[in-house]
Amino acid sequence: MKSHRPHSGQALVVMLALMACLLGAFLLVFNVGQVVNDKIKLTNAADAAAYSAAAWEARSLNFQAYLNRAMVANEVATAQLVSLRSWAQYVDTLTTNADRITRYIPPLAAPMRALAQGWGRINAGMQRALPPMEAALSLWNTQALSTAQSVAHQQALLAAADLVQHVAVANEPRAQVAAASRVLQVRNAEVWQHNFTAKYQRGGRDLARYTRLLADSRDGFSRSRRNDLPVSLPLISLPRRGGTDLLGEYSWRGVDTMSLHLDLLLDHVETPLGWGAAEQRRRVVTQRGEHGGSISRNPRASRLAQRQYRPAGSYQGVPEIRDVVTPGRSGARSLLYSVALQLPERSIATADRLLAPAGLAAADGQLESLAPAYAGNGLHALGSAEVYFQRPAARLDGREEYPSLFNPYWQVRLTATPASERSVIAPLRGLGTDPYAVLP
């Protein structure tokens, strides 16, 4: 007797259906894993490229800051050399006048004559040797350092753009720099060139803040050479005054004087004893300086000093410098550098490319692709880095340090890409959605 099993083979059908579902799930998981893995690699490459480009811009700003500091140091050195010439001329005049007085005093005549003659030779040597040194410092500032600063500023954009390509490929060889990166680089260049820093030129009041900085940076000897010699007689004083001032943008002038002052009840008598002056200039300057109080305290001696000195004319003027726009403004300043990378669909090793590049045959005989639906025919990633100014440690005086190109405290950090950057570059690919914000 035969057994009748009308439901035989049903388990096989269910098993085949289950295996098909498992296969589909496996392909889905495999594809998602591949896409996510490549998306992470591409994002890391974009972050590395943006960080490297921004780091180059930060280093360029720090290099320009070091050049500004070097130019300040050279200007201060010029002021010191002018001060030495002025002081040496003052001592020469003082010893010469003292020699004329003591020649009638036998015990003092010979020593003072030797001192005056010896210092005269020293002064003559200094007046010959120091002006060429001042000229060299000025030429180095205006021709070498200022030019190097301009070159560093201009090449930073080219070097940063070149770094983007090299760093992106080094981190992900399949990555391509998207055309959107060029738009982002143009935006960065516009801010870099016109809205972040500026070249401050001679003439007008562009360099007013810089000239004040130079004056404040003088050492004690250059700033003020003053003291009152002790005199035990009433109504008599021997003030010694001197100092070197920056006059406008084209002259360093030093004046040194000492006078005997007799303060009478109805009159005041000044007798100049020693005077000297020196100047390194590019053009005649009508401004007057304080010169450590020499002009006001010893006016007669100051007039003698400025009437008799011979100014050197090899100074190139205060060097033109680059600094942040509107220096002294409080608040943070930052510069954004964004990079857009893409990974073409053909380079993503998903299941469709490994198993069935042409697709699978469907029930109706048509070939169905297993490829994921990509936004813009591939993967996309955005990376952004920010250049910002921050001291590594707080100032000892407790004051706030404003961003400038005189302190090399420019740093870089990764940051989120703002919506304004995304909205600019998404339409470039004819997309209604933002391919950098979705997966894939």
Task: For the chain, give the percent of residues with pLDDT over 90.
Answer: 57
Distance CA 152, CA 376 (A): 38
pLDDT over threshold 80, residue 27: no
Is the confidence at residue 414, as pLDDT, over 50?
yes
CB 324, CB 407: distance < 8 Å: no
**Selection from 74, 81, 94 nearest residue 256 by Cα:** 94
* Contact (CB, 8 A) for 214 and 318: yes
φ, ψ (nearest 5 deg) of residue 30: -65, -45
Predicted local distance difference test score (pLDDT) of residue 400:
85
Average pLDDT for 353-362: 54
Number of residues assigned to the chain:
440
Task: Quote the pLDDT of residue 440.
Answer: 42
Mean pLDDT (whole number) for 27-34: 72
Name the DSSP class of 117. Answer: H
Higher-confidence position of 69 and 392: 69
Q: Nearest CA to 33 among 346, 342, 350, 344?
A: 350
Pairing mode of beta strands 176-177, 334-344? antiparallel
Tokens for 160, please give them.
């940063």
Tens-digit pLDDT profile for residues 160-177: 999 999 999 999 999 999
Angle at 430 between CA 428 and CA 431, to 5 degrees: 105
Greater confidence (106 vs 135) lies with 135
For residue 252 the two structure tokens come to: 């360093």
| pTM for the predicted model, two decimal places | 0.84
User: Considering the chain, what is the average pLDDT of its residues?
Assistant: 86
Average pLDDT (350-363) is 56
| Selected residue with higher pLDDT from 385 and 21 | 385
Amino acid identity at 314: S
Q: What is the pLDDT of residue 20?
A: 63
Confidence check: pLDDT of 47 > 50: yes
In this predicted structure, the answer to whether residue 24 has a pLDDT above a threshold of 50 is: yes
| Res 380 pLDDT > 60 | yes
pLDDT score recorded for residue 128: 95
Residue among 187, 192, 167, 179 nearest 60 (CA):
192
> Mean pLDDT across the stretch 130-150?
95
Q: How confident is the model at residue 60 (pLDDT cuts 50, 70, 90)?
A: very high
Which three-class secondary structure state does DSSP give residue 397? coil
Looking at residue 299, what is its pLDDT? 95
Looking at 131-267, which runs of residues are DSSP E strands?
A: 176-177, 197-200, 227-229, 236-247, 251-263
Cα–Cα dist 165/63, whole Å: 23
User: In one letter, which amino acid is 416?
Assistant: A
Q: State which H helix or E strand residue 138 sits in.
A: helix 106-139
**Of 276, 327, 324, 348, residue with least CA distance to 83:** 276
Report the range of poorest mean pLDDT among 27-41, 88-102, 220-234, 392-406: 27-41
Residue 411's DSSP bridge partners are: 388
| Average pLDDT estimate for 152-167 | 94
Say if residue 295 is exposed, middle or buried (CB neighbours under 10 Å; 0-12, 13-18, 19+).
Answer: buried
